[in-house]
Amino acid sequence: MTRTCLAVILAAGDSTRMKSSMSKVLHPIAGLPMIAHVMQAVRGAEMSDAVLVVGRDAERVTQAGSVDGMAVSSVLQTERRGTGHAVLMAREAIARGYDDLLVTYGDVPLVRPETFLAARAKLAEGADIVVIGFRTANPTGYGRLLVENGELVAIREEKEASDEERKVTWCNSGLMAISGARALEWLEKIDNKNAKGEYYLTDLVEIARAAGGRVVAVDAPEAELAGCNTRAELALLEASWQQRQRHELMLAGVSMIAPETVFLAHDTVLEQDVLVESNVVFGPGVTVESGAVIHAFSHLEGAHVAAGATVGPFARLRPGANLGEGSKVGNFCEVKKAEIGAGAKVNHLTYIGDAVIGAGSNIGAGTITCNYDGVNKHETRIGENAFIGSNSSLVAPVSIGDGAYVASGSVITTDVPENALAFGRARQEVKPGRATAIRERALAVKAAKKAGH
């Protein structure tokens, strides 16, 4: 789209009903603040300039609303005098002259760029104001969109609507696109002659029509335009976002055995032919390449899983975990800031942190990389095709060479050369009959305690 557009995002609410110590629009959906979701949709609708109308937590909201590829500024609204007043907080930016002006809210995180583009397309076709509406089976409480001959003639609030008008199920979302050439002129004509003494953006419909302007409405899904005022509504938005994203991933070739139990982050990347079993949680920063399998009850964050690798069940990948092609991290394992080479196996009950594991190596059950000395973290390096026996502790910094063996139960504190065998445990001793004596002594102590009672 060659037309210029300014987006004005209203994000100055006090968030009273959220019962929170921070602004409502900072609360996350899929690990990303609501305001950031809105800004991504704005950027996706080919807008290069935006003004955030902020109040509480102004600096944090502005920071969360800043996105690459857009010039984002903010203005502080110290008084709450209605939506029309809020939009005019951006008067200076509006006066610069844009083809289009888009008004949206910071608490509608499910809105899509396509909805904004549909409204802008109507402006390009000659409309002066475009109201974004939705159809609902339960319109109670919403302003109704009244249309005649294809044009929007009024937005009627429920308390002012007639019985016939209340039957209308096309409702106002509050989102609006306005012709930039007339926007400031019409916004400044909004008055506060109403019961609340506030300036309502919806009055623009009648103002524009009185000036000969053309006003229309476009339709969008109800769920996409849902706002958020309470923690309960936040949970509903999260559920809706998750359902939508799972559906899109499955259409793109991802298999989910029980999709309703899989939880995604805003930036989760799952490639075609990935299989995700039940009860898996993806935190931010996860990429899983084609053909990988994420088994049940695993938690991944800040991790990269290469093609054909397997994770879990009951595995945890923490930030910096990088699994090579065809590698395996098995049940009850944790990997943090570590490279797991192609075909390497970390099978059971193991912790690998601050480490490099070479291709084809096998890490036995119960192995620990002892990476922390109480102050600093240290690295463990294991070469290719090495074998680390079960229940080994590798005290970093330490290196295990290519093809080396570490005997089960070892504590390794010095480097092991390639193809060497390392023992790091006390020599076993056998005392014939000693077990009987120990057992008899223990039974005697127990009998004495019982007699004492």
Q: Which three-class secondary structure state does DSSP give residue 100?
A: strand
Q: Which three-class secondary structure state does DSSP give residue 198?
A: coil
Instruction: Show the tokens assigned to 75.
Output: 């203005």
- What is the rounded distance in angstroms from the CA atom of residue 264 to the CA atom of residue 243? 10
List Cα–Cα distances, 253 to 156, 247, 250, 451, in angstroms. 45, 10, 5, 71
Q: Which three-class secondary structure state does DSSP give residue 329?
A: strand
Q: Which DSSP state fits 283?
A: -
- What is the rounded distance in angstroms from the CA atom of residue 357 to the CA atom of residue 371? 14
Q: For this structure, is 348 an active site residue?
A: yes
Closest C-alpha to 331, from 310, 345, 353, 349? 349
Q: Which residues contact 232 (CB under 8 A, 6 or more apart)?
A: none
DSSP 45-86: TT--EEEEEEBTBHHHHHHHT--TTSEEEEEE--S---HHHH
Pair 11, 26: CB distance under 8 Å? no
**Strand duo 32-33 + 49-54: pairing:** unpaired
DSSP 112-166: -HHHHHHHHHHHHTT-SEEEEEEE-S--TTSPEEEEETTEEEEEE-GGG--TTGG
Instruction: Show the tokens assigned to 236.
Output: 């509903």
Instruction: Show the tokens assigned to 274.
Output: 């990935």
**What is the sign of the dihedral through the CA atoms of 240, 246, 247 and 248?**
positive
What are the backbone angles phi and psi of residue 101, rounded to the nearest 5°?
Answer: -125, 125
Q: Which residues contact 225 (CB under 8 A, 6 or more apart)?
A: 108, 110, 111, 115, 132, 134, 173, 175
Q: Which DSSP state fits 408?
A: T
Catalytic residue among 37, 304, 348, 378: 348
Q: Give me the active site residues, please.
A: 348
